[in-house]
Structure 1
């Protein structure tokens, strides 16, 4: 289940223990919501959060937003019960934390099949440990149900003993390996969260860096981050105009029986057209979203 041109500019974590947050998520302009049972939920609140998420999914009302449930590890005391609770609720994806091997995804896939999950329910993988990053290519090939990598930058920074910097130099190798693996296997990939809610400029700088690196979007911790993420991860007007001209030039060349086209004196190949069409598809989806 490879990643597609589905919008994932802004994907907001919502704690499953907070019923008001689950309700509010239905009205927010984010592309997706992660209903969280892991880090955002205390041990004594896991059962209540699990029930509330199941009720929210059953009630629906999330519109075109992609709805993902982050469960606890299947090896821990809550993960199996988490997974069993949502088989009939049809979330868009199950997000597994701390993925370090393809076997974890195969085990999750098998468990989902036994529980009767819809075949279209995807698996997302948190990439947040050194072992996980080193096995990124193997994890990406782990199961056809896998659709997306999510960078867990807080946990990764802790394990790598990183000192936070605006340019995030310490993540260079981790980002590179995860991005290469995701693109090699047709997966989407989302940047990690930004926790300083008062530093709007810092958040926007990190979004711009994410765009430059090639992430599809950013995971968020507060609704105030949705607007900037949506704006910064959308194709620019100039990029859309150029993509439109490129596709037109290619079609004209094809009509004339030519195998290549030129635009502004530069050669256009099929690989350029594929990327142009991807941008145009994203732009169309954004306009459809309103």
Structure 2
């Protein structure tokens, strides 16, 4: 994964049309906050939500958090007004919905290049994340992941994706296994992050943990959260356990003790070669 991409364990969605939720989010220690102008905002409330988020961004306490906005989709007719109102120095990036191909990202990249230039922002400073929400998008995933150098991550739109397939959501997330694995592999190949989609039953902590563990097991690096209570769960589930850290430390110590060009070393009764050593290094880095 590229050094420029910070590993996000949690991305908290905040409905842009709610002043109460915007205020409450100021104290939630998520790795990133995404102000939503899309699905959580009724059609007649879009303009008001845009104004609220534009007013909240400049003095919203970042304190190590990244501030993102989920604007309306490119084909909605609303995206250009969203960008005009929101692109500025306080905005880290756009969590772009309905990305079905690389051309969508390329078009938004052009918009951002222009706005950065006329607003004296550093070129490329406004980042992108892409929502993968359809079978069509999944089929073009490698193209999407390499469509623009602005892209920091892709995320799985679990609800839209399963609706398009015509299958129900389940407690164990078996129906998302293929999509999660595809997302993780394409993102890793492109050197970007990959986030799991939301668990909509925000009171079911056990269900959130099951979904997060399945996502992490195939290589996803964090999870979209729709409620502040889910943030701490995401941080726990997407961080190495104490046991994993201890074992990784033993692996690195033993392997490096062999010196340069080491082949394999025995750790806890198991032979560990270079791939195991690199995996241990990544565990400790996280």
- For the criterion TM > 0.5, the same-fold answer is yes
> Deviation per CA, 1:252-287, whole angstroms, max 9, x where unpaired?
222xx44334132544444333322222122xxxxx
Correspondence for 1:101: 101
Does structure 1 residue 14 correspond to structure 2 residue 14?
A: yes
Partners in 1 of 2:138 and 2:216 — Cα distance? Answer: 20
CA distance in 2, matches of 1:63, 1:168: 33
Answering whether residue 182 of structure 2 is matched by residue 177 of structure 1, we say yes
Partner residue of 1:239?
A: 244
Corresponding residue number in structure 2 for 1:34:
34
Q: Structure 1 93/220 Cα, relative in aligned 2: closer, same or farther at 3 Å?
A: same
Q: Which string of whole-angstrom CA distances, capped at 9 and with x for unpartnered residues, describes residues 69-122 of structure 1? A: 111112222101111222223322211101011011111111100011542321
Where 1:72 maps in the other structure, the secondary structure is coil
Aligned to 1:288: none
What is the CA-CA distance between 1:3 and the residue it aligns to? 7.0
Counterpart mapping for 1:139-150 below 5 A: 139-150=144-155
The residue number in structure 2 matching 1:280 is: 284
- Is the Cα–Cα contact under 8 Å of residues 194 and 221 in structure 1 kept in the other structure? yes
C-alpha contact (below 8 Å) 1:12/1:33 kept by paired residues: yes
The verdict on how the C-alpha distance between 1:242 and 1:73 changes in structure 2, with shifts beyond 3 A counting, is same
Q: CA separation of 1:78/1:191 partners in 2, compared to 1, >3 Å: closer, same or farther?
A: same
Tell me the TM-score normalised to structure 1 length: 0.89
SS in 2 for 1:150: strand
Matched, 1:197 2:188: no
Query: Secondary structure of 1:125's partner?
Result: strand
Give 1:1-290 correspondences, 5 Å limit: 2=2, 6-116=6-116, 118=122, 119-254=124-259, 257-264=260-267, 266-282=270-286
Q: Deviations over 1:186-208 (max 9, x none)?
A: 11111111111232222222122
Deviation larger for 63-72 or 163-172: 163-172
Local SS of the residue matching 1:163: coil
Partner of 2:75, secondary structure, is coil
